[in-house]
């Protein structure tokens, strides 16, 4: 499946939901905030939000440095 | 009276009136690292009446690449960051009052420090302090501006009590084991970009230009050329324990705070994080291995030799033992530099 993640087109395998994608990108546990096709999702929706070919995903994750 | 502020007064949205407002404002900056020194320099030059800057650490050579208020002298003499910052700020603007406090800001300290403060700037290196700050901000209704960066990535968000979602709304759970400047490095432009976002919002708030606030979570990656501003207002939770309808300010409860203890006779400090999630030892092992230093692991714990003097033992339940010191501040510095 092809996704556009933060402006970059990427091919992902074995990823079905937004939750899967967060794990795939190693952003689990980093408070990721996700917009799917310009709609912001609450964290409880991540596990159920199913991705389709061509979806546009924007992800912001939190870091602690400063 | 000289024309020190003339160009800022010429800027329409600030003007004489805004400049006068600035002169009567008190800003508290938590942390005098990269973000703290950057924010402090801009706000001091802008003429904010009083600046308090707090930090528990001292200046090292590895700070000079990005921590703009410090000199080689400061690194040579291991000057406390809060003191070195205050001295430099006083050179930059003698019209304003600068306070530099060498301390580890916990709940009690933060409560006292926020008295008579108009705005809090986040320049810390860890989520524990940020969540404390978040609860105190909600309790006192003082706005605060989150900022953080690592590598070429950074982000910022302005939290206005009663209006925007708070950090708890956005995070839900305390992140654990993320990248830090000491594990993934940091380039100075990423710092400056976050500082620009924080100080622009600060100037708007302090000069009575609330309508100009960004209202968006900004993030960027300067190396990968990606910029984003996300409208996160939908994430404000009515039942948020920090900003919801019936707040309990959970991070102000001593039960939920990261606890430190010196283990008697063992030259060891124990740090017990507030949340009870499991530590991912596999991920941590990967991060620490790349730093050099020896990593040893069994199913229950991971041992990491950070340097000649210090060895850290990370337990699956979140606890960490820092061997080779009895100094809590030193242990915390090492801990947050690796864990964030
Ligand atoms: Zn909240």
Kindly report, residue by residue over B57-116, the tens digit of the pLDDT: 889 999 999 999 999 999 999 899 999 999 999 999 999 999 999 988 889 899 999 999
Across chain B, what does the average pLDDT equal? Answer: 92
Whole-number Å distance, alpha carbon B308 to ligand 1 midpoint, is 43
pLDDT at A53: 97
Give me the residues paired with residue B79 across strands: none
Q: Which positions 7-66 of A are in contact with B (Cβ < 8 Å)?
A: 7-8, 29-31, 33, 35, 40, 42-43, 58, 60, 62-66
Q: How many structural domains compose chain A?
A: 1
Do B154 and B298 reside in the same domain of the chain? no
B residues 306-325 closer than 8 Å to A (CB): none
Mean pLDDT throughout B275-292? 83
Q: What is the pLDDT of residue B160?
A: 98
Let me know whether B164 and B286 are in one domain: no
Task: Among B227, B252, B277, identify where a domain stops.
Answer: B252
CATH number of the CATH domain containing B309 = 3.30.310
Q: Which residue range(s) make up the domain with B111?
A: 6-252
- List Cα–Cα distances, B252 to B158, B244, B280, in angstroms: 21, 15, 26
Q: Is residue A47 part of a domain?
A: yes
Contacts of B165 in chain A (CB under 8 A): none
Domain CATH code at residue A34: 3.10.20.30
Cβ–Cβ below 8 Å for B124 and A6: no
As given in the structure block, the two tokens for residue B79 are 């000057």
Residue B283, pLDDT > 90, answer no
Kindly state whether residues B141 and B284 are assigned to the same domain.
Answer: no
pLDDT above 70 for B264:
no
Q: Are residues B42 and B59 in the same domain?
A: yes
Q: State yes or no: pLDDT of B182 exceeds 80.
A: no
Say if residue B292 is in the same domain as residue B234.
no
pLDDT reading at B177 higher than 70: no
> CB–CB of A29 and B176 under 8 A?
yes
- Residue A34 in domain: yes
φ, ψ (nearest 5 deg) of residue B15: 60, -175
Task: Give the model's pLDDT for residue B1.
Answer: 58
CATH number assigned to the domain comprising residue B164:
3.40.50.720
User: What is the distance in A from the centroid of ligand 1 to the CA of B126?
Assistant: 18
Per residue in A2-39, pLDDT tens?
999 999 999 999 999 999 999 999 998 899 999 999 99
Q: What is the reported pLDDT for B275?
A: 67
For residue B273, what pLDDT is reported? 83
Q: Are strands B320-323 and B268-272 parallel, antiparallel or unpaired?
A: antiparallel
Contact state of A58 with B228 under an 8 Å Cβ cutoff: yes
Per-window interface: B 47-86 vs A, CB < 8 A: none
B104 and B228 share a domain?
yes
Q: Are B71 and B180 members of one domain?
A: yes
**Position A15 in a domain:** yes
* B243 and B263, same domain (yes or no): no
Single out the residue in B189, B222, B252 at which a domain terminates: B252
Taking 70 as the threshold, does the pLDDT of residue B217 lie above it?
A: yes
**Domain termination residue (choose one: B219, B252, B285):** B252
For residue A65, tell me if it sits in a domain.
Answer: no
Residues B129 and B18 in one domain: yes
More confident residue, B263 or B163: B163
Distance in Å, CA B143 to ligand 1 centroid:
13
Does residue B276 carry a pLDDT above 70? Answer: no
Judged by phi (left if over 0) then psi (alpha if -120 to 50, else beta), residue B172 lies in: left
B74 alpha carbon – ligand 1 mean position (Å): 39
B150-162 per-position pLDDT tens digit: 999 999 999 999 9
Task: Decide if A66 is inside a domain.
Answer: no
> Does residue A40 fall inside a structural domain?
yes
Higher pLDDT, B235 or B282: B235
Let me know whether B199 and B110 are in one domain: yes
Pairing of strands A33-36, A39-40: antiparallel
Q: Is residue B225 domain-shared with residue B296, that is, in the same domain? A: no
Average pLDDT score over residue span B211-222: 97
The answer as to whether B178 is a domain residue is yes
- Only one residue has tokens 């039942």, namely B239
CA end-to-end distance (rounded Å), chain A: 36
Q: How confident is the model at residue B246 (pLDDT cuts 50, 70, 90)?
A: very high
Directed axis angle between helix B188-206 and helix B34-46, to 10°? 40
State what percent of residues in chain B have pLDDT above 90.
71
Q: Considering the domain boundaries, does residue B326 fall inside one? A: yes
Is B1 contained in some domain? no
In the numeric block, the tokens 């524990």 are attached to B128
Domains of chain B: total: 2
Q: What is the pLDDT of residue B183?
A: 78
Same domain, B12 and B157: yes
Domain coverage including residue A50: 2-60
Position B59 in a domain: yes
For residue B216, being part of any structural domain is answered with: yes
Show the tokens assigned to A51: 């991705």
Model pTM score: 0.88
Subunit contact A7:B226, Cβ cutoff 8 A: yes
């Amino acid at each position: 499946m092809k996704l556009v993640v933060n402006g970059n087109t990427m091919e992902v395998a074995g990823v079905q939901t937004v939750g899967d994608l967060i794990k795939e990108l190693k952003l689990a546990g980093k408070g990721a905030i996700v917009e799917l096709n310009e709609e912001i999702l609450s964290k409880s929706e991540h596990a159920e939000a199913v991705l389709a070919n061509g979806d546009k995903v924007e992800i912001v994750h939190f870091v602690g440095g400063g | 009276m000289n024309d020190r502020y003339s160009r800022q007064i010429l800027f329409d949205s600030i003007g004489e009136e805004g400049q006068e407002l600035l002169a009567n404002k008190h800003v508290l900056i938590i942390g005098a690292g990269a973000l703290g020194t950057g924010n402090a320099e801009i706000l001091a030059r802008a003429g904010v009446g009083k600046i308090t800057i707090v930090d528990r650490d001292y200046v090292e050579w590895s700070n000079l690449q990005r921590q703009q208020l410090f000199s080689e002298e400061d690194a040579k003499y291991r000057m406390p960051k809060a003191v070195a910052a205050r001295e430099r700020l006083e050179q930059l603007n003698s019209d304003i009052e600068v306070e530099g406090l060498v301390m580890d800001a916990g709940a009690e300290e933060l409560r006292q420090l926020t008295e008579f403060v108009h705005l809090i700037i986040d320049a810390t290196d860890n989520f524990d302090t940020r969540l404390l700050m978040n609860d105190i901000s909600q309790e006192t209704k003082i706005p605060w501006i989150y900022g953080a960066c690592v590598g070429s990535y950074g982000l910022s968000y302005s939290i206005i009590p009663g209006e925007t979602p708070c950090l708890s709304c956005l995070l839900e759970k305390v992140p654990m084991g993320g990248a830090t400047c000491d594990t993934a490095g940091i380039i100075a432009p990423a710092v400056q970009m976050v500082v620009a976002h924080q100080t622009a919002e600060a100037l708007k708030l302090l000069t009575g230009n609330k309508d100009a606030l960004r209202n968006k979570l900004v993030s960027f990656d300067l190396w990968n050329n990606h910029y984003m501003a996300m409208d996160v207002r939908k994430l404000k939770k009515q039942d948020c324990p920090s900003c919801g309808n019936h707040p309990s300010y959970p991070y102000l409860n001593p039960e939920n705070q990261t606890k430190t203890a010196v283990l008697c006779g063992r030259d060891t400090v124990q740090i017990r994080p507030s949340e009870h999630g499991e530590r991912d030892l596999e991920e941590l092992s990967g991060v620490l291995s790349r730093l050099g230093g020896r990593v040893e692991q069994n199913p229950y714990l991971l041992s990491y030799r950070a340097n000649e003097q210090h060895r850290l033992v990370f337990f699956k339940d979140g606890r960490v033992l820092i061997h080779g010191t009895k100094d809590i501040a030193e242990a915390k510095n090492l801990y947050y530099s690796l864990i964030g």
